Chain A
Amino acid sequence: MNDMTINQHSVQAPSAGDINPFAGVDFSELEKSLRRPRTLIDLLMSGLVAAMTLLALIPLFSVVWMLVWHGGQRLTLSIFTQLPPAPLEEGGGFGNAILGTLVMVALAALISIPFGILSAVFLAETGPQSRLASAVRFAAKVLTGFPSILAGVFAYGTLVLLMGGYSAIAGAVALFILMLPTIVLTAEDAIRMVPAKMREAAIGMGATTTQTVWMVLLPTALPGILTGVMLAVARAAGETAPLLFTALFSNYWLFGGGQVDLEQPTASLAVLIYNFAGMPFENQVSLAWVAALVLVSLVLVTNLIGQAFSRRQIHE
């Protein structure tokens, strides 16, 4: 024992005293210096990235600022309760267009949500490897990039001609075609994101596929599914082209004589903006600005709700 300590001592003592362990290290190498290209490039690139990000904010905020500037002053309660004015008439609002947008989007959501979620269950769980699943997945991906006007033309060619006129139902169907692929694909992803071990646990407990889906997979995937639904709703609410061919426009309320009539031409915010913005009357143009502001707020609120859901998902 004694031997060893002495031995160690005799080895360490000279190295501590005589040899500088840091000899040969160039300390100036360690200092930050802008003269070195690598430091300079790093700094420039970081600056560039930050600048581009700021630039990307400009379009978004200038649109919002412009809408508030032009539309904000006329944003009063009467906007929501009154009907669009005739040319050269003062005042007025677009309550019917807000209602029309809400009703058509709600109808479209009512069809596309169950439809989309059930298809997603098939894609993710029942037959993920089947030919049908890959065909549906391919079709849905193509449809997400589908020009929205084609959905309108399709609904026109089928429903409008069949029913003999423009209607809220035709409008809702056109929006449904646009919403469906988004919902299917996001819901499939959300279901797939459920950890495999939870699925295994359910099956190990003796759950059938259906019980696994309804009791474990869908509840766990719900926040993700709702995010997709909100995205689809926000997109549908802002669509103009499909509604031009299907719901057209109306200067009157959706419900006539106390009952809702879905089989008549129906006003929507997007088409109202399209119609009024091009008119030579100052009142209509300013109403178009307000309508744009209301529409953006609607979409924004839907998006915020969707994001709140997806954040909840991360925390769980």
Chain B
Amino acid sequence: MTNIKRDKKPSDPCGVVQSSTDDGAKTDGVVIDCKIDELYYGTFKAVRDTAVPVNRNKITAFIGPSGCGKSTVLRCINRMNDLVRGFRFKGHVHFRGKDIYHPSVDPVAVRRYIGMVFQQPNPFAMSIYNNVAFGLRLNRYRGSVRDKVEEALTRAVLWEEVKDKLNKSGLSLSGGQQQRLCIARAIATQPEVLLMDEPASALDPIATMKVEELIRQLRRDYTIIIVTHNMQQASRVSDKTAFLYLGRLIEFNDTDQLFTRPREKQTEDYISGRFG
């Protein structure tokens, strides 16, 4: 866990990495402060009036019915929405106090600090080894790539299953294994924050359980934001939960509070299954 980022990036393009002494002081602080006033895809207003502060080393879950804007909010946090034509955004996303939408910030650099795991497992059409080594190579990592690959695969609880076939295509794995491979790929470069967009929705119950277990373990070293439409999953894995409905944040609270004593009527209706 030596600071790999310093090896791979002599100059810090967006000035977001601070000294490690600072890290200690901020252990429980807000890593990401996301405040979306208005967000448009073309003329469609997808999200409004949503503010979610995300704490370090906590798992924050976004729940809500399909189309409520939870994935949209998630994709704002590492500027994946920049790829969408007609995307417009009013508000700010502060990553360690720095606005990542400031014109001077390079979105590519942002994504190296804020990694992402997608809904559909999406390994590259290359070997398992090269999939995990991808991010290290992007960053011109100078240390032992092999050690890092093993470390990432071990953390993703996949090493035992693939250690004898690292040269096989990543696409030859089962869906659940592919998703854990994608998680290994995302954590190999040790990002600060891990965004997970319904990481288990394409998986069967057993694979889902494994991925959930893995997410809980990763909390020690990463700040995780997970989008899920599965309320049980949110209550199982997350520390804090944000409930979104019709493109707006309805309620944000500690997970056990939100599920046992919701403040809002809409939240109560949703978690008790009356709509959505």
Contacts and interface: CB of A to CB of B under 8 A. Distances in A.
Interface in A39-71: none
Contacts of A208: 108
Given A204-B111, A220-B125, A215 B80 contact: no
B137 interface: yes
Contacts of A316: 125, 169, 171
A206 B111 contact: yes
A305 interface: no
Interface in B114-137: 115-116, 118, 120, 122-126, 134-135, 137
A195 B171 CA distance: 12
A211 to B, nearest CB: 6
Contacts of B110: 206
Given A197-B118, A215-B134, A316-B169, A204 B124 contact: no
Given A201-B124, A201-B182, A204-B111, A211 B138 contact: yes
Contacts of A195: 122
A105 B224 CA distance: 55
Interface residues of B, number: 28
Nearest to A207: B138
Contacts of B139: 206
B124 A198 contact: yes
Interface string B30-53: 000000000000000000000000
Interface in A216-241: 216, 219-220
A215 B118 contact: no
Contacts of B78: 204
A197 B122 CA distance: 6
B15 to A, nearest CB: 16
B206 interface: no
Contact of B118 (A200, A206, A207, A219): A200
Nearest to A222: B125
Given A211-B138, A215-B137, A316-B169, A206 B125 contact: no
A199 B119 CA distance: 14
A219 B134 CA distance: 13
A60 B177 CA distance: 48
B124 A202 contact: yes
Contacts of A211: 138
Interface in B51-82: 78, 80
B245 to A, nearest CB: 26
Interface string A182-198: 00000000000001011
A204 B109 contact: no
Nearest to B197: A204
Secondary structure type dominating chain A contacts: helix
B122 A205 contact: no
Nearest to B125: A220
A207 B123 CA distance: 15
Contacts of B171: 316
A203 interface: yes
B5 to A, nearest CB: 11
A23 to B, nearest CB: 46
Nearest to B131: A201
A203 B83 CA distance: 9
Contact of A216 (B118, B124, B186): B124
B94 interface: no
Given A200-B80, A205-B135, A219 B122 contact: no
In this complex, the member of B115, B122, B171 whose beta carbon has the largest number of chain A beta carbons within 10 angstroms is: B122
A209 to B, nearest CB: 9
Contact of B126 (A204, A207, A219): A219
B185 interface: yes
Contacts of A216: 124
Interface in A248-274: none
B138 A205 contact: yes
A211 B111 CA distance: 14
Interface string A136-151: 0000000000000000
Contacts of A207: 108, 138
Interface of B: 78, 80, 83, 108-112, 115-116, 118, 120, 122-126, 134-135, 137-139, 169, 171, 182, 185-186, 189
23 contacts: A197-B122, A201-B122, A201-B182, A201-B185, A204-B78, A204-B80, A204-B111, A204-B115, A204-B116, A204-B186, A205-B111, A205-B138, A205-B186, A205-B189, A206-B109, A206-B139, A207-B108, A208-B108, A215-B137, A215-B138, A216-B124, A219-B125, A316-B169
Given A203-B111, A205-B116, A208-B108, 15 more contacts: A198-B124, A201-B122, A201-B123, A201-B182, A202-B134, A204-B115, A204-B186, A205-B138, A206-B109, A206-B110, A206-B135, A207-B138, A215-B137, A219-B125, A220-B125
